[in-house]
């Protein structure tokens, strides 16, 4: 599964709306791909904060692609690398 497929599944993954096999494949990719784990964590935070203000929990694909684009830009500029060195991610 490549990053594009992950982006397509990410909202359903967060909702728990994918089968066990796809979830395993998804999580395997996430474990190995810094960009996708960053996207997932960013979206989880976005959903958390949007729930706080009572908005629908599904993230529009436009937003997903915008966030992913920003992550790509920051990775290219080295900005994300510097910041993420200190933080660590835990998988579900």
| Interface ranges with Zn ion (CB under 5 A) | 3, 33, 36
**Shortest spacing between CB 85 and Zn ion, in angstroms:** 19
How far is 23 from 27, CA to CA, in rounded Å? 6
Alpha carbon separation from 13 to 9, 23, 61 (Å, rounded): 6, 7, 13
How far is 59 from 78, CA to CA, in rounded Å? 27
Residue with Cβ nearer Zn ion (35 or 50): 35
Residue with Cβ nearer Zn ion (27 or 50): 27
**Shortest spacing between CB 74 and Zn ion, in angstroms:** 15
**Shortest spacing between CB 53 and Zn ion, in angstroms:** 29
């Amino acid at each position: 599964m490549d990053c594009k497929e992950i982006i397509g599944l990410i909202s359903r993954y967060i909702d728990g709306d994918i089968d066990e096999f796809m979830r395993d494949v998804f999580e395997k990719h996430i474990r190995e791909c810094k960009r996708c784990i960053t996207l997932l964590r960013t979206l989880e935070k976005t959903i958390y904060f949007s729930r706080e203000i009572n908005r629908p929990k599904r993230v529009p694909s436009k937003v997903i692609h915008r966030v992913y684009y920003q992550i790509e830009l920051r990775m290219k500029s080295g900005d994300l690398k510097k910041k993420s060195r200190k933080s660590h991610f835990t998988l579900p």
